[in-house]
Amino acid sequence: MSNRLYDVVLYGASGFTGRQTVQYFAQHAPAGLRWAIAGRNETKLAAARAEAGEGARNVDILVADSADQSAIDGIVSKTRVMLTTAGPFALYANAIVDACVRFQTHYVDITGETPWIRGLIDRYHDRAAAGGTRIIPCCGFDSVPSDLGSYLMARHCRESLGNACARIHAYFRVRGGLNGGTLASAFAMYDSGLAAMLRNPFLLNPAPRPSLEQIERNGDPAGVHYDTDAGAWVTPFVMGLINTRVVRRSCALSGTDFDYQEYMKFEGPLALMEAAGISSGMSLYEASMQSQTVRNLLRAALPKPGSGPSVDTMDHGWFQCEFLATTADARTVRGILSGQGDPGNRVTVKCLCESALALAVDPASLPGGPERGGILTPSTGLGDVLVERLRGQGISLRI
């Protein structure tokens, strides 16, 4: 791939999240990196390039509709890495992934559509592995912090404490906004009838099937309870149905075996009330999404694709994730992974862009060496290279 015209192409660059990736590359792409922006509307792409300022002034604009396989092939064949923010991914990314596997072009996105990822695994994992092509979904806030944090905690147990990690619980606190693209992906999953697959705790795992004991230990939590380990009231994390599946795939691909769960953590005098409110809201959301009529009403009322929170909301958001790991001999390790910026936008863009740069800039240092491929996860496909890149951009982990 060294003779490709571009190192990275940003597809979907005129969308709400896509424009942020253009701005990020304009500010952070290393000198000499050959990158371009792509999408289906040349006028909007030109506006996104102009909005990003001087750092993007000379980048090429490539036009292709995601449904036009020939046009997508023409872009994918010219680059070493494809980054896409154009969702819902089950609707708009199939041609891109197919081309990436055929042309041996690495791929990253920000999807949380695990039923779609299951389909990618079934169709493309073996071919991508044979070709040394890294197809890495879930490179946004879903699921980079969860996957890298649990990876680092398990390694600390093994290397510093000399014992295997048996269990990790992650406790999230977040502040930020929601963009229309995330909502559109959720609606698309329920419209397709595939949302029921979300309930399989090992949805993304390769064969063999987990044991009944493993399935029971990793069943999704529900409701509100006081967690004595966290010292706080907790409820299931809203994105846990995505993140836990990604972490469990990482365990299977890397040959590790620990149980993993995620929660939202609430502190202060109103903690129980806040946890109960969030839990009730999640139950109402789940019940509402079962009805096509209600989904249509929600579509009309909620933010549309291409829209999102204000700059002030995105700049002043933050996240903190506390990991509690327990070793096989019952010792415990705590870690705090945190970062500034709205998780669904600023942090997502940082994780995604640094994932693409890890593939483009330092392929020889990636886990498994340059020949590894397949439908991978952030930790198995990018590992310590991404960890260090994110640390350099202000995301910290303290153990």
d(CA 356, CA 124) in angstroms, rounded, equals 20
Q: Is 119 in the same domain as 211? A: no
pTM for the predicted model, two decimal places: 0.95
* 59, 29 Cβ separation under 8 angstroms: no
Same domain? For 360 and 337 the reply is no
Query: How many CB atoms within 10 Å of residue 312?
Result: 10
What does the pLDDT average to over 24-48?
Answer: 97
Same domain, 339 and 349: no
Using the predicted structure, report yes or no on whether residue 302 has a pLDDT greater than 80: no
Give 59-116 as a DSSP string: -EEEE--TT-HHHHHHHHTTEEEEEE--SSHHHHSHHHHHHHHHHT-EEEE----HHH
Does residue 5 surpass a pLDDT of 70?
yes
> Which stretch of DSSP H or E encloses residue 246?
helix 240-254
CB distance 15 to 305 below 8 Å:
yes
> Residue 338 domain-assigned?
yes
Tell me, what CATH number does 250's domain have? Answer: 3.30.360
The residue segments making up the domain with residue 175 are 144-343
Between CA 99 and CA 104, with CA 101 as vertex, the angle to 5 degrees is: 100
Question: Quick one: pLDDT band at residue 354, thresholds 50, 70, 90?
Answer: very high
Do 163 and 273 belong to one domain? yes
Within this chain, do residues 209 and 333 fall inside the same structural domain, yes or no?
yes
Total structural domains within the chain: 2
Question: Does residue 58 belong to any structural domain of this protein?
Answer: yes
Mean pLDDT of the chain: 94
The whole-number pLDDT of residue 298 equals: 83
* Distance in angstroms (rounded) separating the CA atoms of residues 361 and 31: 11
Reported as a single tens digit per residue, the pLDDT across 143-199 is: 999 999 999 999 999 999 999 999 999 999 999 887 777 777 888 888 888 888 989
The pLDDT tens digits for 103-126 are: 999 999 999 999 999 999 999 999
Contact 40, 28 (CB under 8 A): no
Residue 20 belongs to some domain of the structure: yes
Residues 167, 209 within the same domain: yes
* Assigned domain for 56 exists: yes
**Distance of alpha carbon 68 from alpha carbon 65, whole angstroms:** 5
